[in-house]
């Protein structure tokens, strides 16, 4: 594996500023009439609602990564085109994935959701989180390796979903 040379601090700050400038431009494009920061109004079938969106910034070995959460459209609209209205049906929750020696733990924020409203399913190394009821959330989370689907357990308390699944040794 080839190691990258260390990034000079000035270059890192410059790249970080570029990322935040791009995020600000995307937010402006989504709604030029945004209310509070991170919220924007939308209208579907004559009813006006609000969408919540944002970005989780992470610095890792691969550099700075921005992961969207909330009601972020799948792709940015072309310049001059109107942004598509987000689906009021489900939001993408904030999710953290923790790799442990023998398990993978996933923590998701699902405000207003009880344990009886959560469904977690595995397809290969993709975890699908969905809720039903008054607060709808949906997200597919790629897991960092093969897992044993039979060991998947989850609990939800005070809107915090905790999922644990055992790693499966690679063939």
On whether both 64 and 123 belong to a single domain, the answer is no
Q: What's the whole-number mean pLDDT along residues 137-151?
A: 92
Query: What percent of the chain has a predicted confidence (pLDDT) above 90?
Result: 35
Structure confidence at residue 21 (pLDDT)? 73
Three-state DSSP class for 81?
A: coil
Residue in this structure with the two tokens 């919220």, named with its chain if needed: 39
The number of domains in the chain is 2
On whether both 103 and 156 belong to a single domain, the answer is yes
CATH of the domain at 159: 2.60.40.790
**pTM, full prediction:** 0.54
Helix, strand, coil % (nearest 5) of the chain?
Answer: 15, 45, 40
Q: Decide which of 54, 70, 86 is a domain's last residue.
A: 70
Say how many Å lie between the first and final Cα of the chain, rounded.
22
In a domain, 90, yes or no: no
Structure confidence at residue 6 (pLDDT)? 60
On whether both 110 and 158 belong to a single domain, the answer is yes
Rounded to 5°, the CA angle 19-22-17 comes to 35
On whether both 159 and 103 belong to a single domain, the answer is yes
Q: Decide which of 70, 87, 116 is a domain's last residue.
A: 70
On whether both 62 and 120 belong to a single domain, the answer is no
In a domain, 87, yes or no: no
In a domain, 159, yes or no: yes
Instruction: For residue 129, give every residue at least 6 positions away whose Cβ sits within 8 Å of its Cβ, in sequence order, or none.
Output: 93, 95, 106, 108, 118, 119, 120, 137, 138, 139, 140, 141, 161, 163
Does residue 114 or residue 74 have the better pLDDT?
A: 114
In a domain, 3, yes or no: no
Q: Which residues span the domain enclosing 38?
A: 9-70
CA dist list (Å): 21 to 27, 79, 83, 146: 10, 16, 19, 37
Tens digit of pLDDT for each residue in 3-50?
656 656 567 677 777 777 776 666 666 545 444 444 555 555 566 655
Structure confidence at residue 147 (pLDDT)? 94
Three-state DSSP class for 24?
A: helix
In a domain, 75, yes or no: no
In a domain, 4, yes or no: no
Q: Mean pLDDT over all residues of the chain?
A: 75
């Amino acid at each position: 594996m080839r190691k990258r040379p260390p990034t000079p601090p000035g270059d890192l700050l410059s790249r970080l500023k570029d990322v935040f400038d791009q995020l600000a431009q995307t937010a402006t494009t989504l709604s030029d009439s945004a209310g509070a920061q991170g919220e924007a109004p939308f209208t579907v079938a004559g009813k006006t609602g609000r969408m919540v969106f944002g970005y989780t910034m992470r610095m890792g070995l691969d550099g700075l990564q921005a992961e969207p959460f909330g009601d972020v459209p799948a792709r940015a609209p072309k310049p001059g085109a109107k942004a598509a209205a987000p689906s009021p049906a489900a939001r993408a929750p904030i999710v953290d994935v923790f790799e442990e020696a023998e398990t993978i733990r996933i923590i998701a924020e699902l405000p207003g959701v009880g344990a009886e409203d959560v469904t977690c399913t595995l397809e290969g190394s993709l975890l699908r989180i969905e809720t039903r009821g008054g607060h709808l959330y949906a997200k597919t989370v790629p897991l960092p390796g093969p897992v044993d689907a039979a060991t998947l357990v989850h609990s939800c308390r005070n809107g915090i979903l905790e999922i644990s699944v055992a790693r499966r040794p690679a063939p």
